[in-house]
Chain A
């Protein structure tokens, strides 16, 4: 059974003549260790779908199964716990806490759940090292470069060892070289840690680095295509431009 199963998910806003159907019956599955790119034009519903998978929005109808649990039926408190423990987010703007250091941004996520502090520190240091951020660990979020911020965001998403990594336009504010390194870092994390990943992107070159591409248009999934392999894998995780 797939890690993530969406069954006939719909999402509508407004009523009557004002009604907008953002999603019109989306069904998909993502396996553990698989990175899926979700592409589509603006307004196609891909961000709405990502928000639903991440427990930020509730679907109007349909089921969203993580294992055998239907997240669509969770109340607000359960959704908060789900976001904390099972879904790691990487946003377009990274959305780090600007006045905290890279390391503190990671530890903050651990603080939400009251885990053992020493274990959290160890995990944060391991993730920072793995993502080539050891030297930037003490720098405030607003002093990091765009690529560093996104890699810290990836590390933050992995802090609580979630089942899912949800990524929203991770390279939109980066040039293609930095973007490629960020996606490679993400891909390595997903494969190395056996996570399921859904990445929303406009950038087909970045989407091609995923294991699978799904296209969404007018609230409906259009096609399931195998992803292209990256033409030239990044030689290292650390961005030499930074």
Chain B
């Protein structure tokens, strides 16, 4: 096939274009991976919870930080039509001292043992109702601080700090960019509000399983899907918007650069294309050959960039330093996006091919 033979014989020319596609696709992939990584830090602990919906207090504007639900509200919404299971969840950000003078922040999540909000323990043991001073920590906390099962952490909310012992490790990820830490909900109430009485919030939100609960509401509470809850985590939408803008800019630049490259290549071989038309090649045949070259260059460049991006993630960047994450879906989406951008960018060149007059074959003597 003409397109492939030309590429194999003009390696330098097409290699340069492929190199540029690699750089652009690499940029797009890394930005996409950064967006995914940041999203995971923002709320994969929330997404990992075994439920379909979250209930918030009505005036919280779907903010886990501002949402405060009373015991009466939790009971009311737990018995709402369509609810199959419910679990009260409390959230507070805390300073965690893991060694004298060494402090990191953690996302304290108060849960009830046996509820649908209870995380799966990958090391150690689960919480029991008697573990008022016990913690489950996420694996990222262990990686970050080097502390583990049996270590005592000082949990500070406000001015006082209370000791908690790590009894288990979970793999739930982060919440609000902090490693998730699970404690009994009653302990969470004590740590977060000190004096626990009728006026103390019973939970921040309620995790729900059920059918058709989206939009359900009651006295001062409302229900949204887990997806909506995720996108309403403070900063997530703005962060994703920024990442998307960078990604689209990358794709736009990619489309323009690939388009310009192929336009120049087309201009360089107008005489040759004119000769091919003169000896019987149709405009469609030459356009298909051109499109095939654009497709192959874009696809090859992007696949090499995928390899480089995954290699970079595996070798140079750790999740603790730069939060980059890749999923198969994200890689496939980015690959398709770069290839489509390349093909669209080169469309002008393809129009140029269609317009070449074969008479130029007799004028270049």
Contact = CB atoms under 8 A, between A and B. Distances in A.
Interface in A108-131: 108-109, 111-113
A14 B10 CA distance: 41
Contact of A112 (B10, B285, B361, B364): B285
A57 B362 CA distance: 11
Given A56-B358, A172-B365, A112 B278 contact: no
Interface stretch (A84-92, A188-196, A210-218, A233-241): A84-92
A77 B280 CA distance: 10
B365 A93 contact: yes
Contacts of B361: 56, 89, 91, 95
Interface in A67-116: 77, 80-81, 83-85, 88-89, 91-93, 95, 97-100, 104, 108-109, 111-113
B362 A50 contact: yes
Nearest to A105: B279
Given A47-B362, A56-B358, A95-B361, A84 B279 contact: yes
Contact of A83 (B2, B272, B279): B279
Contacts of B359: 51, 56-57
Interface in B345-365: 358-359, 361-362, 364-365
Determine chain B's interface SS by DSSP, over half rule: helix
A147 interface: no
Interface in A156-190: 156-157, 160, 168-169, 172
Interface size class of B (residues with CB under 8 A): 20 to 34
B272 A54 contact: no
B242 interface: no
A109 B283 CA distance: 14
Contact of B1 (A56, A84, A111, A157): A111
B283 A80 contact: yes
A99 B275 contact: no
Contacts of B362: 47, 50-51, 56, 91, 168
A59 to B, nearest CB: 13
Interface in B253-290: 272, 275-283, 285
A99 B6 contact: yes
Nearest to A169: B365
Nearest to A153: B279
Interface size class of A (residues with CB under 8 A): 35 or more
Nearest to B281: A112
A54 B278 contact: yes
A76 to B, nearest CB: 8
B5 interface: yes
Nearest to B358: A56
A112 B280 contact: yes
A112 B9 CA distance: 20
A160 B276 CA distance: 14
A157 B10 CA distance: 25
Among B275, B281, B362: residue with most chain A CB under 10 A: B362
Nearest to A76: B283
Contacts of A168: 362, 365
Interface of A: 47, 50-51, 54, 56-57, 77, 80-81, 83-85, 88-89, 91-93, 95, 97-100, 104, 108-109, 111-113, 140, 156-157, 160, 168-169, 172
13 contacts: A51-B359, A56-B362, A80-B277, A80-B280, A80-B283, A81-B280, A83-B277, A84-B280, A92-B365, A95-B361, A104-B5, A109-B280, A160-B280
Given A47-B362, A51-B359, A108-B2, 18 more contacts: A51-B362, A56-B359, A77-B282, A81-B282, A83-B358, A85-B280, A89-B279, A93-B364, A95-B364, A97-B276, A99-B5, A99-B10, A108-B276, A112-B281, A112-B282, A113-B280, A160-B280, A168-B365
Give the 7 A-B residue pairs with the shortest CB-CB distance, closest first.
A84-B280, A99-B9, A92-B365, A95-B275, A83-B280, A56-B359, A80-B282
